[in-house]
Amino acid sequence: MTLAETIYQHSLSLPESAAREALDFIEFLERRYGQSVSPVTDDDKKRQAALAHIVAVRVHWQDKPIPDRDALYDDARD
């Protein structure tokens, strides 16, 4: 199992807010280390699929589904 796959497996057990935080941190590291966009490889496709899955995860808040996480963030900011 590659490191990316290990990270993905761990991300599956995270609540959506924690998965979003992990993704934000990964994006921060990409900017920090100046990762350039390279040709898409199979690993990149797997990573993109994993990130798409994380974005699609729906969580329940006090037994109520949260269908739109961006709306939830907007409500939290108000």
Domain containing residue 21: 3-77
Structural domains of the chain, count: 1
Within a 13 Å sphere around the CA of 48, how many CA atoms are in the beta-carbon half?
A: 6
What are the angstrom distances between the C-alpha of 30 and each of 4, 37, 38? 14, 10, 13
Residue-by-residue pLDDT tens, the chain, 78 positions: 788 888 888 888 988 888 888 888 888 888 888 865 555 567 778 878 877 777 776 666 666 666 666 665 666 565
